[in-house]
């Protein structure tokens, strides 16, 4: 298993298409404040739905902290459109489709053997620095503690 980029690293910039086939770039998101990047293996899977559903259900908590949430996976925008509409995900779901898993690889969370990203979680501050970095491997799910730690990374005295 690869290692995610560490806290203190400069976050690789990217521009990918969201579920509405619109370009979304990290630099533009950072201009509005810190960003929570949530890499997930595949749409239409129970664990991924549960994790992104947690974010959907707790969106006000993340927005209150000034975070923009972005999901990233290797599926194409039309697949993400159907899935995000069915699940009520109001945040961008980005297609790291081509080059396949290229952004996930830059963040150190791409599983080349399986062709999908591991569950990488990053908080990137407005300056582009990674202030939170975590990853769990195949078959593991992020816990509420992961989300709490990501939020706490924005508080200087945490």
C-alpha–C-alpha distance, residues 36 and 149, integer Å:
12
| Contact status, residue 151 vs residue 20, Cβ threshold 8 Å | no
C-alpha–C-alpha distance, residues 86 and 88, integer Å:
6
Q: Where are the alpha helices (DSSP H) in 44-143?
A: 46-57, 59-64, 77-87, 102-106
Q: 95: cis peptide before it, omega within 30°?
A: no
Which of 24, 26, 48, 153 is the catalytic position? 48
48 is known as an active-site residue: yes
C-alpha–C-alpha distance, residues 48 and 22, integer Å:
22
Q: Name the residues annotated as catalytic.
A: 48
């Amino acid at each position: 298993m690869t290692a995610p980029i560490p806290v203190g690293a400069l976050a690789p910039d990217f521009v990918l298409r969201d579920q509405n086939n619109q370009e979304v770039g990290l630099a533009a998101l950072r201009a509005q404040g810190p960003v929570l990047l949530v890499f997930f293996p595949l749409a239409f899977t129970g664990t991924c739905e549960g994790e992104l559903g947690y974010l959907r259900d707790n969106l006000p908590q993340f927005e209150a902290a000034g975070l923009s949430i972005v999901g990233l996976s290797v599926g194409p925008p039309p697949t993400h459109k159907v899935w995000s509409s069915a699940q009520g995900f109001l945040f961008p779901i980005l297609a790291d489709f081509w080059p396949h898993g290229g952004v996930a690889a830059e963040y150190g969370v791409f599983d080349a053997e399986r062709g999908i990203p591991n569950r990488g979680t990053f908080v990137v501050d407005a300056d582009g620095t990674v202030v939170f970095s975590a990853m769990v491997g195949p078959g593991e799910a992020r816990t509420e503690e992961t989300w709490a730690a990501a939020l706490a990374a924005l508080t200087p005295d945490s």
